[in-house]
Chains A and B, each alone.
Chain A
Amino acid sequence: MADIQKDLLEIMNDYTEGRITSATRENVLTADFGLNSFDLFDLICIIEEKYGISIPDRVLPTLVTVGDLLDFLEKEVNG
Chain B
Amino acid sequence: MSKKYGRYVRGGAPEVKKFDMLRPGMTQDPVLAQLVYGGSTLRRVMHNGVINKVRMEGVKPPYILVCNHNAFYDFYVMSSAIYPARGVFPAAVDDFIGREEILRHLGGVPKRKYTSDISMLRQCRTAIQNGQVFGIYAEARYSLCGVTEVIPDAVGQLVKHQKVPVVTLTCRGHHIYDPFWGDHSLLRKAELRPVQADMTLAYTSEELETATADEINAKLRTLLYNDDFRWQFANHVRLSYKKRAEGLHKVLYQCPHCGKEYKMRSKEDKLYCENCGKSWTLTEYGELKATTGETEFRFATDWYAWEREQVKQEVLAGTYRFVAPVHVNDLPNSKGFVRLGKGTLVHDMEGFHLHGTRDYNGLPFSMEIKAAGQYAVHVEYAYRFGQHQDCIDLNTLEDTWYVFPEISDFSVTKISLATEEIYNEIWRRRNAERQARKEKENSAPKGE
Interface status of B55 (Cβ within 8 A of chain A): no
From A19, A36, A44, B434 is in contact (CB under 8 Å) with A19
B215 → A minimal CB distance (Å):
16
* Any A CB within 8 A of the CB of B26: no
In the bound complex, do residue A34 and residue B372 qualify as a contact, i.e. CB atoms below 8 Å apart? yes
Residues from chain B with Cβ under 8 Å of A40 in the complex: 116, 118
Docked-complex contact A36 and B153, CB < 8 angstroms: yes
Is A3 in contact with chain B by the CB < 8 A criterion?
A: no
Interface centre among B115, B152, B373 (most CB of A within 10 A): B373
B122 interface residue (CB < 8 Å to A): yes
With A30-B116, A58-B22 given, is the CB distance from A37 to B154 under 8 Å?
yes
In the complex, what residues of A have CB within 8 A of residue B371's CB?
Answer: 31
- B427 interface residue (CB < 8 Å to A): yes
B370: Cβ under 8 A from any A Cβ: yes
Note all chain B residues with C-beta closer than 8 A to A34. 372, 427, 430
Given contacts A57-B22, A61-B21, A61-B397, contact A37 B120 (CB under 8 A): yes
Chain A residue total in the interface (Cβ 8 A): 23
A14 at the interface (CB under 8 A from B): no
List which A37-78 residues lie within 8 A (CB) of chain B: 37-42, 44, 57-58, 60-64
Please tell me if the beta carbons of A30 and B22 are within 8 angstroms of each other in the complex.
no
Residue of A34, A38, A42, A44 with most chain B CB atoms under a 10 A cut-off: A38
Partner of B118, one of A19, A31, A44: A44
Residue from A30, A35, A60 having most chain B Cβ neighbours under 10 A? A60
Given contacts A34-B427, A36-B116, A58-B22, contact A41 B121 (CB under 8 A): yes
Residues of B within 8 Å of A57, CB to CB, are 22, 119, 122
- A19-B252 Cα distance, complex, nearest whole Å: 40
A38-B158, A39-B154 known; A31+B373 contact, CB < 8 A: yes
Instruction: Return the CB mask of B98-123 against A: 1 if under 8 Å, else 0.
Output: 00000000000000000111111110
Contact B154–A38 (Cβ < 8 Å): yes
Q: Which residues of A contact B120 (CB under 8 A)?
A: 37
B212 touches A (CB below 8 Å): no
Asked if B372 and A61 make an inter-chain contact with CB atoms under 8 angstroms apart, the answer reads: no
Question: Given contacts A19-B434, A36-B152, A38-B157, is CB(A60)–CB(B118) below 8 Å?
Answer: yes
- A44 and B427 CA atoms in complex are apart in Å by 23
User: Are A32 and B154 in contact, with the CB atoms below 8 A?
Assistant: no
8 more contacts with CB within 8 A, not counting A42-B161, A61-B398, are A28-B373, A36-B154, A39-B154, A39-B157, A40-B118, A42-B157, A60-B118, A61-B21
Q: What are 18 A-B contacts defined by CB distance under 8 Å?
A: A29-B116, A31-B372, A31-B374, A32-B373, A35-B116, A36-B157, A37-B154, A38-B157, A38-B158, A39-B154, A39-B157, A44-B118, A57-B119, A58-B22, A60-B117, A61-B397, A63-B118, A64-B397
